[in-house]
Amino acid sequence: MIWIDWLIVLAYLLLTLWLGLYLSRRASGSLVDFFVSGRSLPWWLAGTSMAATTFSIDTPLYIAGVVGTRGIAGNWEWWSFGIAHVVMIYVFSRLWRRSEIVTDAELTELRYGGSMGAWLRGIKAFLFAVPINCIGIGYAMLAMVKVITALQLWESLGFEPGDDAKLWSVIGVSIFVLVYAGFSGLWGVVATDFFQFFLALFGAIVVAGAALIKIGGMGSLVEQINTQFGPDTLALVPLQWGDGGIRWSETAGISVNTFLAYIGLQWWAFRRSDGGGEFIQRLAASKDEAEAEKAAWFFNILHYVVRTWPWVVVALVALVVYPNLEDRELGYPMLMSDFLPPVLLGLVVASLIAAFMSTVSTLINWGASYLTNDLYARFINRDAADAELVLAGRSASVLVTVLGATAAFFAQDVTTIFRLVIAIGTGPGLVLILRWFWWRINAAAELASMVAGFIIGLLTMPIADPATAQNPLVIGLAALQSRVTILQTTDFGQRLLVIASITTVIWVAAMYLTSPESPETLARFYQKVHPGGPGWNRQRIAVGEQPIRLITFAGGWPQLGFDQPGISPEQDLLLQGQQVIAAIGLLFGTMFAIGGFLLLQPLVGWLGLIIAVLGGVWLRRLQRARIAPMPRPGLEDVGDGL
């Protein structure tokens, strides 16, 4: 990089700081102002912010690594979450906005009562705010150091710092982020997210375009990939059609069991099955329920349809240009350094810094929301005034940043601990879905699912070579797995099935061995959220509403209970289920149509387009039963000043 590139980076940093500080006055009114923007975000801003939170600096590097080692089909590792994200659009987005919460942990005490509900809220808030969130910040910082090293940014200025010095420079950028995130709250985060996302997207498109030009265009790229690595690398699904019929692709590194687990199990078994913390914060901050649903749709479009293919193209070019590269993730920054001229290089470096800053600012604000709303305001000072809560939020932002920076200095330990922490995510997913639609789910069931998922996740961790293990815990785990063979599996799909199955048995037992929530708690939740389905018929009847039947009888024959009189569309799970199926066809069909035509696979492109059109037409028909715009609940806690 030369002086003009550094000038562009500096201008970007100053512009971001000015925008964040300018919005600080919007966050000083109350806790709701600071953490959910006064519940006034428009859909386009909330949706873009949701997409920006998933665009970290390590994301394009991760895609480069996946495509470089397993081909395009390896992306099903994260594409499969698109199913859960579409379910979020039509099933959960309105419920979260209707609940009027600040954090997802707060919903715990709305849904469950008594000391168990309070304890569960506190435990979840601590886990999400400290270990999971802070390790995520540390992980992003380490990824930033990797990019700095690959681009030789400090070397371009004549310095030769070590890894610790580079990490301190990343922490310096994080403190810069803290200044605007700590003062402006969620308003500053989402406003800078909007700018940062499109800058980061522009950077990805520039790198893809420049790389394609250098190697002679898409036709040349496809030909070289097929010649050097085989057609499996370009397959969008791990299936191939040949002279011998249909065969499973080995290139993607995904077994049949794992692929089936991705599309049929992972999306509902994971702890983000009903949304996910950062997404929930933006849904809760939307103007109303309709805006929350639009925000969820906009996120899906940006995340899967728009952003996927620039990353994939860059990863494919890196395969051709650097065929012997040992660390495939470095292909992305190396292409930037080798192919981009001055000014463009500065813009793209600024785009990567933008991706890093958008993730860190979100994690700072999100983590601070748990510490402030669910720990300080709930357990330490329940009578705190708004000014005190805003101050507590800003102090918590500083604490989260410090803890994240501390985690970054323990690189090896962070990687290990991060894998252990992520194991807690596989168990609770089904409970988190069912708690919305079945009154019998209680706090004991959710707590049991969290604990069981975490423990079973640890017990099923693959051990590379048990014979050479020296750690006593690893030796003990190997001995246990040798005796309980169901715990001994190296296939991810089988492991996920084992965790989900055992966890389900445990939480179901815990649920039936403990008392249900009190009628008062259940009635309060139902009247607040109005969830759909027959699982709340007791509460519906109690308030004089008609029960919902998924199966009805006409002329003595059973049929699905569509269009039941007295049932509003907002509670019609059958309608929402159809919308989900149609939207999955529209989303994935569009994504694969673009990918097919882009990669010169016309058959895939036309099939994707047909599926997308059919899904869109079906969804359009279902729009006739759409829910009318709702009032904006939760604004009464903002105050009269808005």
Cβ atoms 430, 438 nearer than 8 A: no
Q: What is the pLDDT of residue 626?
A: 55
At residue 416, does pLDDT exceed 50?
A: no
Inter-helix orientation angle 344-369/386-408, to 10°:
120
Q: Helix or strand or coil: residue 544?
A: coil
Confidence class of residue 245 from pLDDT cuts 50, 70 and 90?
low
Among the listed ranges 1-5, 34-38, 91-95, which one has the minimum average pLDDT value?
1-5
Inter-helix orientation angle 344-369/331-339, to 10°:
150
- Average pLDDT (129-148) is 81
User: Which tokens go with 417?
Assistant: 């601990």
Lookup result for tokens 């919903």: 107
- Average pLDDT (95-120) is 93
In whole angstroms, what separates CA 341 from the centre of its chain?
34
Cβ atoms 500, 424 nearer than 8 A: no
**Torsional sign, CA 507, 508, 510, 515:** positive
At residue 476, does pLDDT exceed 90?
A: no
Kindly report, residue by residue over 576-589, the tens digit of the pLDDT.
999 999 999 999 99
Lookup result for tokens 């036709």: 219
Q: What is the pLDDT of residue 629?
A: 46
Tell me which H or E stretch contains 560.
strand 557-560
Pick from 446, 459, 86, 429: nearest CA to 266: 429
Q: What is the pLDDT of residue 569?
A: 66
At residue 401, does pLDDT exceed 70?
A: yes
Pick from 340, 373, 466: nearest CA to 100: 373
As a whole number of angstroms, the distance between CA 150 and CA 170 comes to 14
Which residue ranges make up each domain of the chain? Answer: 1-412, 572-627
Q: What is the pLDDT of residue 430?
A: 92
Q: What is the pLDDT of residue 640?
A: 41
Q: What is the pLDDT of residue 552?
A: 67
- Average pLDDT (541-567) is 71
Cβ atoms 586, 304 nearer than 8 A: no
Lookup result for tokens 């479009």: 301
- Average pLDDT (115-141) is 87
Nearest-Å Rg of the Cα atoms of the chain is 25
User: Which tokens go with 575?
Assistant: 């309608």
As a whole number of angstroms, the distance between CA 420 and CA 461 comes to 9
Lookup result for tokens 């665009």: 55
At residue 472, does pLDDT exceed 50?
A: yes
Higher pLDDT, 561 or 384: 384
Q: What is the pLDDT of residue 564?
A: 62
As a whole number of angstroms, the distance between CA 582 and CA 576 comes to 10
- Average pLDDT (288-303) is 96
- Average pLDDT (243-272) is 80
pTM: 0.89
At residue 46, does pLDDT exceed 80?
A: yes
- Average pLDDT (435-451) is 94
At residue 158, does pLDDT exceed 70?
A: yes
The two counts, helices (H) then strands (E), for the chain are 29, 4
- Average pLDDT (12-37) is 81
Domain 1-412's class? mainly alpha
Classify strands 557-560 and 551-554 as parallel, antiparallel or unpaired: antiparallel
Kindly report, residue by residue over 204-219, the tens digit of the pLDDT.
888 889 889 888 999 9
User: Which tokens go with 475?
Assistant: 């030796």
- Write the CA distances from 456 to 469, 471, 504, integer angstroms: 20, 19, 11
At residue 165, does pLDDT exceed 60?
A: yes
- Write the CA distances from 161 to 55, 187, 327, 404, 405, integer angstroms: 27, 36, 22, 22, 18
At residue 560, does pLDDT exceed 70?
A: no
Higher pLDDT, 311 or 136: 311
Q: What is the pLDDT of residue 608?
A: 96
User: What are the DSSP calls for 133-165, one per residue?
Assistant: HHHHHHHHHHHHHHHHHHHTTTGGGT----HHH
Q: What is the mean pLDDT of the chain?
A: 85
Residue 286, C-beta contacts closer than 8 angstroms, at least 6 positions apart: 39, 41, 42, 43, 46, 97, 292, 295
At residue 636, does pLDDT exceed 60?
A: no
Higher pLDDT, 471 or 606: 606
Which amino acid, 373? Answer: N
DSSP 8-class letter at 29: S
Lookup result for tokens 């969620």: 186
